[in-house]
Chain A
Amino acid sequence: MHPIRKKRLTIVLFLVAGIAIAVGLTTYALRQNINLFYDPTQISAGEAPVDVRIRAGGMVEEGSVIRDPNSLKVEFRVTDFNASVPVEYVGILPDLFAEGQGVVAMGQLNGQGRFVADQVLAKHDENYMPPEVADALAKSAKNGQQPSKAGDAPAY
């Protein structure tokens, strides 16, 4: 390679490496701001601020959804299988909201450790399957076998 080109190539590589380091350090320093939501472990550890509008995300705990028959009020618990946080919400839930599904709620944490949400969004996971497969998996899970498809990681 021609020496001038070699020099230019070195400059270009230094440019890209320098910017990558700068951006990397900036995003690392701002990581809590870039995170969309606090997970239940962070909230129960007291990392989330109280009475400030924040988002909380996790999975809706199985069997925890209580709907008020006279209004749109819903109560449920959001879990990451480590800790869980009670959430209350008044309003219409997205179609995908269900027990065992991921949600991201926006609202405030009150003094009693309850999360009062004014918006609930459903979080979809990366797994797709036809309805027949899902039925078959649910059936085999009922028969006491472990579903092989869903994986071991919490899918929220």
Chain B
Amino acid sequence: MWQIFHKLGSPKWFFGIATRLMPWLLAGGVLLMMAGIVWGLGFAPKDYLQGNSYRIIFIHVPTAFLAQSVYIMMAVAAVVTLVWRMKLADVFVKAVAPVGLVLTFLALFTGAVWGKPTWGTWWIWDARLTSMLILLFLYGGVIALDRAINDEKSAARAVAVLVLVGVVNIPIIKYSVEWWNTLHQPATFKLTEKPTMPAEMWVPLLLSVLGLYLVFGWLACLRMQTEILVREQRTRWVREHVMAGRT
């Protein structure tokens, strides 16, 4: 078992696997997202109270969900960086932090667009919105800290510690709507209960969430490959790979 784990740490091995996986991730992701969004925006019934404006949920929920999942994945990679000093884990953190930043921004932005007509305000300092804003700053901080330290190894460790400190925010985001009085409504989806919306609404939502996961996987592979090429530029296999691409 440990052997597979260490093999996973080899940038060259990962590069090959990623190349083979990426077309599938992209095709599956785009297909699922298209299905979910076209179904959700065009064919799902409208809400009895909000009318058509609720349809932003098909973009808001996937981005908000991914923004938090990506952070959890980064935290797992940070533990691997600190304990096993695996290069690939650090490559992952650096490659996906900007993706997480964009997803968090999109979640906040779509939420504001929806909040203005529904609540009557585009921003309020309630626990859910504020903790999500903190997540945005955490992503920004991770990127900035990485850029600020020149030495690759010390940057990796500093970033990993910051990511782990910030992971406390994730349960706060998740449970903010239950622990405190907030303007944001509680979750429509719960693991233990039936969703509080009909199937013709939650199925397209689920499709777009899964689709965005696959697209994220594709983007993560692509960005990790780029980072690996930059870092391993002095090794033989990278030179051979680049020369092969040139001819």
Separation of A39 and B181 alpha carbons in the complex (Å): 9
Instruction: Contacts A12-B79, A128-B201 given; indicate if A121 touches B183 (C-beta within 8 A).
Output: yes
Q: Is A27 an interface residue (CB 8 A)?
A: yes
Q: Is B98 an interface residue (CB 8 A)?
A: no
B127, A9: Cβ atoms closer than 8 Å: no
Q: Is A131 an interface residue (CB 8 A)?
A: yes
A5, B84: Cβ atoms closer than 8 Å: yes
**Neighbour of A130 across the interface among B46, B57, B186, CB < 8 A:** B46
Q: Is B154 an interface residue (CB 8 A)?
A: no
Separation of A128 and B46 alpha carbons in the complex (Å): 9
Over the window 21-36 of chain A, the binary record of Cβ atoms lying under 8 Å from chain B Cβ atoms (1 yes, 0 no) is: 0010001000100111
Nearest Cβ distance between residue B169 and chain A, in whole angstroms? 8
Q: Is B72 an interface residue (CB 8 A)?
A: no
Separation of A93 and B197 alpha carbons in the complex (Å): 26
Separation of A32 and B48 alpha carbons in the complex (Å): 34
A31, B180: Cβ atoms closer than 8 Å: yes
A129, B198: Cβ atoms closer than 8 Å: yes
Interface residues of B, count at CB 8 A:
41
A24 (CB) vs chain B CBs: closest residue:
B168
A96, B50: Cβ atoms closer than 8 Å: yes
Instruction: Contacts A23-B172, A129-B197, A131-B48 given; indicate if A123 touches B83 (C-beta within 8 A).
Output: no
One of B118-126, B142-150, B215-223 contacting the partner: B118-126
Instruction: Contacts A9-B83, A20-B168, A123-B119 given; indicate if A130 touches B181 (C-beta within 8 A).
Output: no
**B45 cross-chain contacts in A, Cβ below 8 A:** 130-132
Q: Is B182 an interface residue (CB 8 A)?
A: yes
B197, A127: Cβ atoms closer than 8 Å: yes
Q: Is B27 an interface residue (CB 8 A)?
A: no
Nearest Cβ distance between residue A61 and chain B, in whole angstroms? 18
**B50 cross-chain contacts in A, Cβ below 8 A:** 96, 124
Separation of A31 and B120 alpha carbons in the complex (Å): 25
Instruction: Contacts A19-B165, A123-B183, A128-B201 given; indicate if A5 touches B188 (C-beta within 8 A).
Output: no
Instruction: Contacts A124-B50, A128-B188 given; indicate if A57 touches B164 (C-beta within 8 A).
Output: no
**Neighbour of B127 across the interface among A19, A34, A94, A129, CB < 8 A:** A34
Nearest Cβ distance between residue B10 and chain A, in whole angstroms? 18
Separation of A16 and B79 alpha carbons in the complex (Å): 10
B181, A35: Cβ atoms closer than 8 Å: yes
Q: Is A134 an interface residue (CB 8 A)?
A: yes
8 A-B residue pairs with CB within 8 Å: A8-B83, A15-B161, A20-B168, A23-B168, A128-B196, A129-B198, A130-B200, A130-B201
A binding-site residues for B, Cβ under 8 Å: 5, 8-9, 11-12, 15-16, 19-20, 23, 27, 31, 34-37, 39, 57, 93-96, 101, 104, 119-135, 151
Extra 19 A-B pairs, beta carbons < 8 Å, given A8-B82, A36-B183, A57-B181? A9-B79, A11-B82, A15-B164, A20-B168, A23-B168, A36-B125, A36-B180, A39-B181, A57-B183, A93-B120, A95-B118, A96-B119, A121-B120, A121-B121, A123-B183, A124-B50, A126-B188, A127-B188, A127-B196
